[in-house]
Amino acid sequence: MPGPLDGIRILELTQIIAAPFGGMLLSDMGAEVIKIEPIEGEPWRLHNQFLPKESRAYISLNRGKKSLPLNLKDPEATAIVHRLIKEIDVVIINARPDVPEKLGTDYETLSKINPNLIYCDNTAFGRNGPDSYRPGYDIVVQAVSGLLAADNKVENGVPQQVSATAVADYSTGIAIAWSVCAALFARERSGKGQKIDTTLLSTALSVQGSFMELDSYTKETRLEFLDTLNVLKQAEMPYEVMLEQQRALAGPTTAFRIYYTTYKTLNGVIAIGCLSEHLRKKAAVVMGIQDPRFEPDYDPEDPSTIEQIENLHESSKLIIASLPTEEWLKKFDEAGVPAGPVRFVQELLDDEQVIANEMVVELEHSKAGIVRMAGPMVRMSETPLQPQFASPALGEHSEEILAFLGYTEKAISGFKERGITV
């Protein structure tokens, strides 16, 4: 069965992570995605190559796309793009803010060629404001947005990035796919295309639940924190001191850290997550601990009670460390307590749960052979999502696309000879 975006044609002028990931999600939905790359290949294709012009990073973000390398500094290449735009439903672009207009790939130019065009413009900081000119990557936006500080990782007095994944990039990729789908739906109703602006900064703010203010309750506290922060900065205090002030601002977030944390077991590490009192009481029973916070006469101001809770946290560590992971998981499962083992992502390619829910797909790459990777994030019964094919070799579809646009074999050969495409 065809995917939900079957018949939609998308042009990508993208590189690195955020926008390519968004395009890949749309390809999984059935859209035809044509990716325009520099003649030498986009930077992520050239990052840690294991074969010429191939990298794991590129393969993981560009499945289901057709590759058309173009030297967009050449007017003939721009003419090819403008010819192609007549056949395109959606453009996704991420570039330095000043680049699209220079190359003739800006919204104003392309929407004149195709008024029904949906154009998704992804930047680091947005098209307006004092930072609009700045390029930016995930680590920069983590820093600017507060994500980096919120992670509470400090080494030698320096805050460290969220390194497990490019959280701003991948979240923005999801925002790109989501907004394009919404714009396509709106076009079905109105017949009008539109411009979409996505930014790494906006996404990074949105995924932080703490990014909000209640005028009557939290505004004054925040302003006091900012005053304190300025004083500490002027005094050149260590970053850890400022971080402690932020933690104090957040309030007693660790009140129930016994029940939402990781523990070392006899033979591994597990995580438990109990965000309701109902679940926390269950976890306490499983661990065999007496938590005064569950007693009717609990007094949070009582010094002896506070000390008891602190001691309880330490004793919980010893209790969990006394039995192997498998035993604790059985106990928590039987009690209905959310828990799981801490694993490495490499283990999940063969994981029974992952396989049973078709979360891993297998594709044949034209140069690398069999590739196993994470499949579509969602499942749909009537319009199933599925990867169309593996990521393309550089220029793998140049002749196909140019022929579709009506160029002759002679013209295509001429483009290659003049370095307009490969």
Q: Which of 349, 347, 343, 319 is nearest to 331 (CA)?
A: 319
347-357: per-residue pLDDT in tens? 999 999 999 99
* Beta-strand pair 90-94/118-123: parallel
**Whole-number pLDDT of residue 125:** 95
CA distance 273 to 254: 13
Instruction: Report the pLDDT value the prediction gives residue 256, as an integer from 0 to 100.
Output: 64
Q: Where are the alpha helices (DSSP H) in 45-119?
A: 56-61, 75-85, 99-103, 107-113
**Domain 9-206+358-417 classification at class level:** alpha beta
Q: What are the φ/ψ torsions at residue 248 (nearest 5 degrees)?
A: -65, -35
- Say if residue 53's pLDDT is above 70: yes
Give the integer Cα–Cα distance in Å for 23 and 304.
Answer: 57
- Name the least confident of 40-49, 155-164, 317-326, 369-378: 155-164
The structure tokens listed for 163 are: 């390194």
Identify the pLDDT of residue 310: 83
Task: Average the pLDDT over each of 89-103, 166-180, 296-310 and give the range with the smallest value.
Answer: 296-310
pLDDT band, very low/low/confident/very high, at 102 (cuts 50, 70, 90): very high
For residue 308, what pLDDT band results from cuts at 50, 70 and 90? confident
Q: What is the pLDDT of residues 86-98, one digit of tens each?
A: 999 999 999 988 8
CATH number of 257-344: 3.30.1540.10
Average pLDDT of the residues in 232-253: 78
pLDDT at site 250: 63
CA 253 to chain centroid: 25
User: Amino acid letter at 193?
Assistant: G
Q: What are phi and psi of 375, to 5 degrees?
A: -90, -165
The per-residue pLDDT for 317 is 95
Residue that wins the pLDDT comparison between 240 and 167: 167
For 365-406, write each residue's pLDDT tens digit. Answer: 999 999 999 999 999 999 999 999 999 999 999 999 999 999
